[in-house]
A and B are shown apart, each in its own frame.
Chain A
């Protein structure tokens, strides 16, 4: 009997049940950032915009515009400001409209100039 058959019997079903049940590997995926509006100031927002390599972040007035479609989940904004940015943990990001992926995050932090 071929070895792969025995090995297959021993390991059982490896296929994910994904749409019906959550997949165990989903927690390890790199995900776009989630922001803390209270920790975001204009200066910090500008710094995050400079750090972003894929133009996913822009600032317009007191709002940080985050384009989740452009985000590559590289983690540079999290590295630059770990107190204000953490991984969102969301990987189910398919959108039926490009505009649904653009999020406006208010800058509520103290110490604006």
Chain B
């Protein structure tokens, strides 16, 4: 602990960390920056708008996401997090890349809903069938549509305020459900 803090306070770490360690430390420091205030821009890449309905409900009194320090913003220039819905239609490629490029760094991308995760549509002439190959995704939120509670959990996972839960789940019964 003392060695680590001493290494942090000096000009550089005593021994070079591995790339994975550095990446994880960087990811955690970015999440820590966003812990108390995060501005969200939503991006619809051809979704059916069910995800948008659920995202809209986050601002309703029952969920009230502002109490957690999350805010929606109309401009990607002001956004820290891009919430992408839909299967990423090819006609939207340029707009999606420009939106991502317009955001100031550090920035996060959350794939929202089964379409964005590549579940509903397969890749064809009109759609990529998922946003993974167009944008660098940080958090994946499944669901069709994901409920506002699931979206809240996803946002809290993105800023490191909740631990990821699904990694340990096995989706089997027989007593050991997780």
Q: A35, B153: Cβ atoms under 8 Å?
A: no
Partner of A71 from B64, B119, B156, B164 at Cβ < 8 Å: B119
Q: B119, A55: Cβ atoms under 8 Å?
A: yes
DSSP class of A's interface residues: helix, strand, loop or mixed?
loop
Q: A15, B144: Cβ atoms under 8 Å?
A: no
Q: Which chain B residues lie closer than 8 Å to A96 at the CB level?
A: 138-140, 157, 164
Q: Which of B128-178 contact A (CB under 8 A)?
A: 132, 137-144, 146-147, 149-150, 152-154, 156-158, 161-162, 164-167, 169-174, 177
Closest chain B residue to A25, Cβ basis:
B149
B67 at the binding interface (Cβ < 8 Å): yes
Q: Which of A14, A68, A95 has the most CB of B within 10 A?
A: A95
Q: B117, A98: Cβ atoms under 8 Å?
A: yes
Q: A72, B149: Cβ atoms under 8 Å?
A: no
B37 at the binding interface (Cβ < 8 Å): no
Q: A93, B172: Cβ atoms under 8 Å?
A: no
Q: Which of B138, B146, B149, B165 has the most CB of A within 10 A?
A: B149
Q: Which chain B residues lie closer than 8 Å to A34 at the CB level?
A: 171-173, 177
B interface, size bucket: 35 or more
Q: B169, A94: Cβ atoms under 8 Å?
A: no
Q: B62, A14: Cβ atoms under 8 Å?
A: yes
Q: Which of A15-71 contact B (CB under 8 A)?
A: 15-16, 18-19, 23, 25-26, 29, 32-38, 54-56, 66-71
Q: Give complex CA distance A105, B169 in Å.
A: 11
Q: Distance in Å from the Cβ of B153 to the closest Cβ of chain A?
A: 5
**Chain A positions 62 through 96: 1 when the CB is less than 8 Å from some CB of chain B, otherwise 0:** 00001111111110000000000010101111111
User: Beyond A68-B171, A101-B117: 19 further Cβ-contacts under 8 Å?
Assistant: A15-B67, A29-B149, A34-B171, A36-B172, A38-B174, A54-B144, A56-B119, A68-B166, A71-B142, A73-B143, A73-B144, A90-B166, A91-B150, A92-B153, A95-B167, A100-B164, A105-B170, A105-B171, A105-B172
- B contact set with A: CB distance below 8 Å: 61-64, 67-68, 114, 117-120, 122, 132, 137-144, 146-147, 149-150, 152-154, 156-158, 161-162, 164-167, 169-174, 177
- A contact set with B: CB distance below 8 Å: 14-16, 18-19, 23, 25-26, 29, 32-38, 54-56, 66-74, 86, 88, 90-98, 100-101, 103, 105
